[in-house]
């Protein structure tokens, strides 16, 4: 299971009522991407020890950067080192169109941690000729290329160009195409020389029938067939990715020395033990300590965690987020957490699939101080961990809303014209401006804090029963839980929303996004692959079809432009409830066939006419549909070798940050 929430389309490109901030949030735009910065308000108010803790954990967050490149595709690191070398040492003209196009490619490569699009997972290409690329290589410092022994520059150059330019070479990062062998068809570096069937058999052989506390098999390893036998290459010191993990551990050790309390110290040391041994039982023990640590002000994620990128849904990509609590905004999530049992009891799912007793829902709003690995530069806006079902059931989960990230998105997307273009009624635009941000934040809180944590599996149901359909179904379940309750009178009663008009704004934007605006992220002729996009279309399309007779959602064409308008929000809430009940049943019973049918019927295929129209209307607005973030820097202020303070600064040159990380934080 994977529990990370990304900004929905409307969050990445919306327009809303929050106040304008003078800080330059947006620093770059290229391809379909905008680069932003986030502020770290409240850093100055941390104690010196807390500041040091943030500093050490941030260093650890940077040290795993190479890992994610290599996990995404086994040649990515060599390519990145080559691109960095060209950018730094190329002796030719840097002012012409070719060089600019080359730089767009490099920036995209850095952004995606490799040459597959971070969202669609399709391979992308430089818009320069192979000849020009050869010129770039020839006129750069030869010593800076990662040539293997007895390889000359020409050979190297040819290999590199084939890797980058050949359309049939590693075309897809993670393939979800159910027609093909998704293990073979995926470029991700989790498997070598094995078929999907072999992986499935191997995974089965690793499961022990009645284990109530199963470890996350395969989470931290690559499965390789060598000389006819399957073996796991484990990520650990002395194992795969050892040199990078050693650096991470070095900084974690320093962090442990300034931990805020004994529990935090214990959990950091447990994580270090995991990195030294690769033992998944230790990983679980770490997660239990981590989920129980509610006292610490500074907190972090660091490890092989989310399994979205593995077509088989087992291998964890490396990521890190360093943060501290936003005490004021956390009051909102505390109300939600305090009422978790009420939500579980009143959820529209079958009694058998509900938890009698909701344990340890903890939720907080955080201020992000550093992003790393799979969370950088493309950052989620909310995270709910740990992922192991049995730990969640027994010890609860920790859920965070990353509000300084959402805030930066909001600031950048002001007045971009989306509402004018895609919203039909002026009244709906007004609702969106007035309540968009509030409703968006609350949706994230409900999704993370309650949605993922709700419900339970029937006894005997395996947590990986839904296989490659698990991620979109899990995201749909969490979204539906949030959507269903947003329209409940309980919201104004608890003071979470001023009134139900705010919920209307959330419904309008969800449907608009799921049926239309998110399609602007998909290239013509392509299907939807990404889990969150699949879940959003699944929900919106299913609701559209279900409410067709009563005209709950109306498709209006005016002046050649298509709009989707919600006419009956109360009825739509019921429909959301019905789908939530069905998806919970699918998860609780492990009904693979039903899950597959829902996804394949509603979530994958794109309406070609609507798609074309959405792309055309969107293009005129000149908005980059995706966003990501540069990290702030932390500088130590030392006197006589003693750290007196830590200062935060906000660099604004994306290229410099990437080159800097490539130089100082590359260990593989
Ligand atoms: Zn989620």
Residue boundaries of the structural domains of the chain: 4-65+239-629
DSSP 209: T
Sign of the Cα pseudo-torsion (63, 46, 266, 451, in order): negative
> Does the structure show a pLDDT above 90 at 50?
yes
* pLDDT, tens only, 272-313: 999 999 999 999 999 999 999 999 999 999 999 999 899 999
- Quote the ligand 1 centre to 478 CA distance (angstroms): 6
- Quote the ligand 1 centre to 448 CA distance (angstroms): 6
- Quote the ligand 1 centre to 69 CA distance (angstroms): 24
DSSP 552: S
- Tell me the pLDDT of the chain averaged across its residues: 93
User: How many degrees, rounded to 5, is the angle at CA 284 between CA 57 and CA 194?
Assistant: 95
- Quote the ligand 1 centre to 480 CA distance (angstroms): 11
- Quote the ligand 1 centre to 152 CA distance (angstroms): 48
Encode burial over 632-649: b for 16+ CB neighbours within 10 A, e otherwise.
bebeeeeeeeeeeebebe
Dist. CA 667–CA 611, nearest whole Å: 43
Q: Collapse the DSSP code of 398 into the 3-class scheme (helix H, G, I; strand E, B; otherwise coil) and give the result.
A: strand
- Quote the ligand 1 centre to 583 CA distance (angstroms): 14
What average pLDDT does range 541-550 have in this prediction?
Answer: 97
- Quote the ligand 1 centre to 531 CA distance (angstroms): 10
Q: Helices in 358-466 by DSSP H: which ranges?
A: 389-395, 403-412, 418-422, 426-445
- Quote the ligand 1 centre to 476 CA distance (angstroms): 8
User: Does the N-terminal peptide bond of residue 377 adopt cis geometry, omega within 30 degrees of 0?
Assistant: yes
- Quote the ligand 1 centre to 388 CA distance (angstroms): 14
Dist. CA 526–CA 611, nearest whole Å: 10
Torsion of CA 400, 401, 403, 405, to 10 degrees: 90
Q: Collapse the DSSP code of 287 into the 3-class scheme (helix H, G, I; strand E, B; otherwise coil) and give the result.
A: helix
Dist. CA 175–CA 184, nearest whole Å: 9
What average pLDDT does range 523-544 have in this prediction?
Answer: 94
Q: Please give the share of the chain, as a percent, with pLDDT higher than 70.
A: 97
- Quote the ligand 1 centre to 129 CA distance (angstroms): 41
Helix, strand, coil fractions of the chain, as percent rounded to 5: 50, 15, 35
Orientation of helix 130-138 relative to helix 153-165, angle to 10°: 140
Better pLDDT: 448 or 552? 552
At 360 the pLDDT is: 67
Q: Among 16-20, 194-198, 358-362, 405-409, name the most confident range.
A: 194-198
- Quote the ligand 1 centre to 229 CA distance (angstroms): 37
Categorize the per-residue pLDDT at 193 as very low, low, confident or very high, splitting at 50, 70 and 90.
Answer: very high
- Quote the ligand 1 centre to 393 CA distance (angstroms): 17
At 1 the pLDDT is: 36
Nearest to 418 by CA among 8, 3, 1: 8
Dist. CA 589–CA 460, nearest whole Å: 9
What residues contact 4, with CB distance under 8 A and at least 6 apart?
306, 308, 380, 382, 383, 384
- Quote the ligand 1 centre to 275 CA distance (angstroms): 26
- Quote the ligand 1 centre to 489 CA distance (angstroms): 24
What residues contact 16, with CB distance under 8 A and at least 6 apart?
410, 413, 414, 432, 433, 436, 437
- Quote the ligand 1 centre to 451 CA distance (angstroms): 8
The long-range contacts involving 608-615, CB below 8 angstroms and separated by at least 24 positions, are 608/525, 610/515, 610/516, 610/519, 610/562, 611/519, 611/522, 611/524, 612/524, 613/561, 613/562, 614/516, 614/517, 614/519, 614/520, 615/519, 615/520, 615/524
Residue 110's Cβ-side half-sphere holds a number of Cα atoms within 13 Å equal to 29
What residues contact 243, with CB distance under 8 A and at least 6 apart?
667, 668
* pLDDT, tens only, 608-644: 999 999 999 999 998 888 999 999 999 999 999 999 9
- Quote the ligand 1 centre to 4 CA distance (angstroms): 5
- pTM to 2 decimal places: 0.84
> Does the structure show a pLDDT above 50 at 564?
yes
> Does the structure show a pLDDT above 80 at 209?
no
* pLDDT, tens only, 349-391: 999 999 998 876 788 999 999 999 999 999 999 898 999 989 9
Better pLDDT: 1 or 499? 499
At 4 the pLDDT is: 63
Dist. CA 449–CA 397, nearest whole Å: 8
The long-range contacts involving 160-163, CB below 8 angstroms and separated by at least 24 positions, are 160/78, 160/79, 160/82, 161/130, 161/133, 161/134, 163/75, 163/79, 163/115
- Quote the ligand 1 centre to 205 CA distance (angstroms): 29
- Quote the ligand 1 centre to 420 CA distance (angstroms): 29
At 368 the pLDDT is: 98
At 448 the pLDDT is: 82
Residues surrounding ion ligand 1 at CB below 5 Å: 3, 5, 475, 478
At 13 the pLDDT is: 46
- Quote the ligand 1 centre to 537 CA distance (angstroms): 15
- Quote the ligand 1 centre to 3 CA distance (angstroms): 4
At 20 the pLDDT is: 58
- Quote the ligand 1 centre to 350 CA distance (angstroms): 21
């Amino acid at each position: 299971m994977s529990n990370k929430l990304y900004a929905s389309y409307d969050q990445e490109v919306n327009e809303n009522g929050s106040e304008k901030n003078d800080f330059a949030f947006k620093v770059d735009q290229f391809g379909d991407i905008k680069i932003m910065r986030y502020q770290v308000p409240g850093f100055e108010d941390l104690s010196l020890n807390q500041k040091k803790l943030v500093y050490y954990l941030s260093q650890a967050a940077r040290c795993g950067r190479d890992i994610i490149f290599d996990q995404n595709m086994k040649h990515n690191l060599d390519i990145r080192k080559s691109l960095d070398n060209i950018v730094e040492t190329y002796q030719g003209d840097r002012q012409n169109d070719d060089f600019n196009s080359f730089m767009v490619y490099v920036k995209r490569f850095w952004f995606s941690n490799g040459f597959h699009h971070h969202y669609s997972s399709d391979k992308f290409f430089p818009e320069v000729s192979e000849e020009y690329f050869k010129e770039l290589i020839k006129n750069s410092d030869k010593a800076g290329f990662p040539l293997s022994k007895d390889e000359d520059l020409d050979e190297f150059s040819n290999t590199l160009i084939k890797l980058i330019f050949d359309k049939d070479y590693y075309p897809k990062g993670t393939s979800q195409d159910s027609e093909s062998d998704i293990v073979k068809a995926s470029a991700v570096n989790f498997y070598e020389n094995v078929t999907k069937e072999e992986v499935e058999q191997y995974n089965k052989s690793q499961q022990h029938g009645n284990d109530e506390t199963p470890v996350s098999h395969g989470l931290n390893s690559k499965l390789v067939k060598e000389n006819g036998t399957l073996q796991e290459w484990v990520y650990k010191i002395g194992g795969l990715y050892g040199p990078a993990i050693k650096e991470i551990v070095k900084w974690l050790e320093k962090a442990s020395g300034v931990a805020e309390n004994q529990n935090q110290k214990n959990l950091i040391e447990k994580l270090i033990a995991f990195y030294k041994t690769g033992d998944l039982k230790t990983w679980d023990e770490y997660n239990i300590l981590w989920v129980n640590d509610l006292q610490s002000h500074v907190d972090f994620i660091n490890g092989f965690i989310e399994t979205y990128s593995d077509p088989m849904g087992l291998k964890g990509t490396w990521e890190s987020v360093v943060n501290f609590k936003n005490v004021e905004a956390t009051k909102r999530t505390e109300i939600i957490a305090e009422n978790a049992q009420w939500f579980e009891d009143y959820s529209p799912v079958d009694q058998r699939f509900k938890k009698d007793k909701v344990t340890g829902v903890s939720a907080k709003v955080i201020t992000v101080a550093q992003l790393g690995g799979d969370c950088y530069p493309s950052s989620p806006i909310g995270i709910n961990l740990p992922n192991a079902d049995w730990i969640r059931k027994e010890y609860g989960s920790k859920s965070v809303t990353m509000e300084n990230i959402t805030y930066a998105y909001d600031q950048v997307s002001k007045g971009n014209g989306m509402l004018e273009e895609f919203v039909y009624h002026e009244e709906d635009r007004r609702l969106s401006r007035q309540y968009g941000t509030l409703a968006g934040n609350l949706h994230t809180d409900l999704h993370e804090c309650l949605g993922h944590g709700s419900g339970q599996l029937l006894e005997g149901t395996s947590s990986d029963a839904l296989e490659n359909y698990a991620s979109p179904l899990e995201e749909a379940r969490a979204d539906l839980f949030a959507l269903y309750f947003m329209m409940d009178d309980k919201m104004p009663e608890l003071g979470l929303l001023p009134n139900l008009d705010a919920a209307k704004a959330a419904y309008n934007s969800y449907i608009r996004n799921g049926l239309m605006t998110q399609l602007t992220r998909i290239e013509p002729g392509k299907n939807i692959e990404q889990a969150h996009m699949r879940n959003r279309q699944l929900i919106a399309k299913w609701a559209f079809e279900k409410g067709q007779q009563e005209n709950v959602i109306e498709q209006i064409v005016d002046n050649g432009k298509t709009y989707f308008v919600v006419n009956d929000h109360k009825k739509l809430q019921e429909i959301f409830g019905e789908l939530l009940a069905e998806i919970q049943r699918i998860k609780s019973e492990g009904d693979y066939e039903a899950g597959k049918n829902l996804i394949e019927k509603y979530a994958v295929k794109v309406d070609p006419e609507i798609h074309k129209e959405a792309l055309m209307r969107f293009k005129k607005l000149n908005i980059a549909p995706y966003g990501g973030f540069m990290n702030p820097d932390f500088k130590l202020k030392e006197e006589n070798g003693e750290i007196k303070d830590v200062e935060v600064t906000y660099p604004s040159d994306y290229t410099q940050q990437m080159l800097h990380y490539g130089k100082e934080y590359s260990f593989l």
